[in-house]
């Protein structure tokens, strides 16, 4: 009788643990999807509220927002993020009021370069070529594709 009770207790605890894990995974999935939307819409204030508070305090919300604004409003290129997908969420856990996990995800980044008025065609071509080589190094293992017609570079998983 004691063995059966112990077995039932272990099964129940394991079930509750797995249910708690599932809740964390669903919460994290929703948060990551919300983060993707904020990123796509350049909703930096909302995005910053989703970051780890200690990280935000370390750099300051203003500095983070300025960096994101500079990326979004860069005079040399426009950047867009698309086809953001979550592949897997693992090692989910709760700490205090927050849920954490390792999130395997992917997205496509596209950089459309803008020629400035004071750049010659050769200077602009050289600049885009340097950026292509830089991206190939920075994103090694991913596909870096240059489109000559619209002066863009796409980074794909």
Residue 55 lies in a domain: no
Number of domains forming the structure of the chain: 1
Distance CA 56, CA 59 (A): 5
Tell me: pLDDT of 9 over 60: no
Domain that holds residue 138: 2-41+75-156
Residue 109 lies in a domain: yes
Residue 85 lies in a domain: yes
Q: What is the mean pLDDT of the chain?
A: 84
pLDDT score, position 113: 96
Q: What is the mean pLDDT of residues 71-84?
A: 89
Q: What is the pLDDT of residues 134-155, one digit of tens each?
A: 999 999 989 999 999 999 999 9
Residue 96 lies in a domain: yes
Tell me: pLDDT of 48 over 80: yes
In what side-by-side order are the strands of the sheet with 152-156?
Answer: 77-95, 98-113, 152-156, 143-147
| pTM for the structure as a whole | 0.70
């Amino acid at each position: 009788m004691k063995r059966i009770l112990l077995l039932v207790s272990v099964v129940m605890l394991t079930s509750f643990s797995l249910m708690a894990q599932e809740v964390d995974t669903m919460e994290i999935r929703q948060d990551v999807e919300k983060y993707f939307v904020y990123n796509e819409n350049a909703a930096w204030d909302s995005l910053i509220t989703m970051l780890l508070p200690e990280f935000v305090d370390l750099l300051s919300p203003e500095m983070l927002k300025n960096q994101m604004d500079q990326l979004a409003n860069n005079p040399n290129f426009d950047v867009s993020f698309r086809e953001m997908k979550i592949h897997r969420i693992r090692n989910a856990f709760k700490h205090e009021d927050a849920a954490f996990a390792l999130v395997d995800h992917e997205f496509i980044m596209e950089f459309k370069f803008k020629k400035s008025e004071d750049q010659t065609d050769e200077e602009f071509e050289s600049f885009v070529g340097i950026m292509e080589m830089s991206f190939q190094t920075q994103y090694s293992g991913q596909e870096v594709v240059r489109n000559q017609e619209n002066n863009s570079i796409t980074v794909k998983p």
